[in-house]
Amino acid sequence: MAKCEFCDKGVSFGIQVSHSHRRSNRTWKPNVKRVKVIVDGTPTHAYACTRCLRSGKVQRAV
């Protein structure tokens, strides 16, 4: 679910390193919102990241 339908930004993986340098796996999830957008002239619900919403790549349906 944590995936933008417009720019395909998704979960990224890495390693969390503590102060004592113990390493463990972790994930970074994008800030994805379920919004009502206009796709092909019809309003539908879609998952969009806030970067796409802010830049105007997605047209919101009001």
Specify the pLDDT at position 1.
Answer: 72
Q: How does DSSP classify residue 12?
A: E
Task: Report angle CA 12, 6, 52 to the nearest 5 degrees.
Answer: 85
Q: How many residues does the chain have?
A: 62
- Global pTM reads 0.78
Specify the pLDDT at position 60.
Answer: 94
Rounded-to-integer distance, Cα 17 and Cα 38, Å: 42
- Domain range list for the chain: 12-55
Q: How high is the mean pLDDT in each 10-residue block of the chain (62 residues)?
A: 93 97 97 95 96 95 88
Side chain identity at 31, as an amino acid letter? Answer: N
Side chain identity at 13, as an amino acid letter? Answer: F
